[in-house]
């Protein structure tokens, strides 16, 4: 039997097995997960938006950039950040992120 150009009971009519696809809510964004996680204590009393802090720390950890290069890159994007602030953020956040990722990662990846 055809229903609007498709057969009834076709694959499109069946519910998805993935729970979050069936729910009306989208998955929680990463920055909100970080705000409510174990990193909450580390992220307190930081006056910049979390997205800016995480971008700076990510670029500092992932690429061979100096702190002053990061300061210039952020200034080009319209964000006034001091290189000392980026350094303090990295000293606070990187150990906490490493600890959080070690608890998630399997002990024996083989």
Per-residue pLDDT at 97: 81
pTM of the model: 0.59
Q: How big is the CA angle at 17 (ends 14 and 29), to the nearest 5 degrees?
A: 120
Averaged over successive runs of 10 residues, the pLDDT of the chain (110 residues) comes to: 51 49 58 60 78 92 95 95 94 85 66
Tell me 2's DSSP state: E
Per-residue pLDDT at 30: 61
Tell me 6's DSSP state: E
């Amino acid at each position: 039997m055809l229903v609007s150009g498709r057969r009834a009971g076709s694959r499109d009519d069946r519910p998805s097995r993935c729970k979050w696809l069936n729910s009306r809510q989208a998955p929680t964004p990463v920055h909100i997960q970080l705000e409510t996680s174990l990193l909450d204590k580390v992220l307190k009393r930081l006056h910049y938006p979390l997205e800016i802090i995480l971008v700076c720390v990510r670029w500092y950890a992932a690429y061979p950039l100096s702190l002053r290069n990061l300061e210039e890159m952020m200034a080009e994007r319209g964000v006034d950040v001091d290189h000392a602030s980026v350094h303090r953020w990295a000293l606070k956040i990187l150990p906490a992120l490493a600890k959080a990722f070690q608890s998630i990662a399997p002990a024996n990846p083989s």
